[in-house]
Amino acid sequence: MNRSILDIRGEVLVVSQFTLYGDCRKGNRPSFSDAAPPVQADGLYQCFTQRLRDADLKVATGCFQAHMELSLVNDGPVTFVLET
């Protein structure tokens, strides 16, 4: 836990998911009105993945605005759940 992804020469999977920006503070239905428009969001997604590649990391990506199914095997000593 004291080493970064760069230290361990790890790999990164980047998958865009606009639903992560949903605001659920007002009732049961999330609001996505503050999410970036698709063109801007795609630019940010591409910029982020390019910066990872520029750091010589191996990066795999999903397809922006596509329906995707992912499965994950969490192989590590801990899992952090971040709540704001």
User: Is 61 one of the annotated active-site residues of the chain?
Assistant: no
- Which one of the listed residues 19, 49, 79, 84 is annotated catalytic? 19
- Output the CA–CA distances (angstroms, integers) from residue 37 to 33, 41, 42, 68, in the order listed: 9, 6, 9, 20
d(CA 28, CA 37): 23
What is the residue type of 76? G
Q: What residues act catalytically?
A: 19
